[in-house]
Amino acid sequence: MARLLLVITATVVLGAGVGTGLWYLTRDPATRPGAAPTVAAPAAGGTAATDETAASADTADTATTPATDATSAPPADPAPAKSPAAPTGPAAPGYGTVRDPVGYSVTVPEGWTRRQKQGELAPVVSYDSPDDGRRLQIFALAESTPAESLDLAEHDPGYGFARQPGYRVLDRRSDTAWSELTYRYDDADGGPRQVIDRRFRAADGTLYAIRSSGPENLAADLVRAPLTTAVASFCPSGARCG
């Protein structure tokens, strides 16, 4: 009985720390790598995780080149690598499809820099524009539905991104298989930012989030375009995608 109580206590303590740690990891400053709310097991070879909202410079940050084989990540490279490195199929002009080492293929803008941060239990991958402050973030989710995950990420009293300065909802959209929130906030380093956070069920049944963000003064279409392309092309390794 004493051993069982010890295991239960450890589990509760770990669960309490995951959300806070991942919020800190996944903030969205324009001048730092990374940003995200709720994270779970990646589709291929990763570990589980639990939350996303804004990136931190204090967590480990590894820049890697997208692998040609999603099951084997390349060795860490001290300098950020441009992506995409290995197109896997046709893509719109200015975009290329990559097999990300975390375990999925996705179409992203050419020339954007890939970065990866390790959350409490799972990686958060960012693709950053070299010139206008836009960013894509991708991570798996731990919650049961996209709506539950997005609500938790927005409103949790400990790490919800509604607590960010200047937070204001611009739009909400949802369907049976996805939920999306568009909002703005004032980043301490990057200034006013706009964010589109889409959470959805992928072809293998796993829930994922893809977030697109950029300076508030950019046209909204420029921030939405990479998200639309990434969501439409996203395919976990080993899954059959349309």
Digitized pLDDT (tens) for each residue of the chain, 242 residues in all: 444 444 434 443 334 333 333 444 445 544 343 333 334 433 333 333 444 333 332 223 444 443 333 333 333 333 444 444 333 445 678 999 999 999 999 999 999 999 999 876 678 999 999 999 999 999 999 999 999 999 999 999 988 999 999 999 999 999 989 999 999 999 998 899 999 999 999 999 999 999 999 999 999 999 999 999 999 999 999 999 97
CA distance 227 to 194: 13
Q: Is 111 left (phi over 0), alpha (psi -120 to 50) or beta?
A: left
Q: What is the per-residue pLDDT for 81?
A: 42
Q: Quick check: is 242 in a domain? A: no
Residue 26 DSSP symbol: B
Q: Quick check: is 231 in a domain? A: yes
CA distance 116 to 171: 28
Q: Quick check: is 179 in a domain? A: yes
Domain count of the chain? Answer: 1
Cβ proximity of 21 and 159 under 8 Å: no
Q: What is the per-residue pLDDT for 226?
A: 97
Q: Quick check: is 91 in a domain? A: yes
The residue range of the domain holding 87 is 2-236
Q: Is 52 helix (H, G, I), strand (E, B) or coil?
A: strand
Q: What is the per-residue pLDDT for 54?
A: 35
Q: What is the per-residue pLDDT for 195?
A: 98
Report the alpha-carbon angle 118-241-105, nearest 5: 35
CA distance 34 to 26: 6
Question: What is the maximum span of the chain, computed from C-alpha positions, in angstroms?
Answer: 62
Q: Quick check: is 199 in a domain? A: yes
Number of Cβ atoms within 10 Å of the Cβ of 41: 18
Residue from 166, 174, 172, 175 nearest 193 by CA: 166
CATH number at residue 188: 3.40.1000.10
Cβ proximity of 69 and 45 under 8 Å: no
Q: Quick check: is 241 in a domain? A: no
Q: Quick check: is 85 in a domain? A: yes
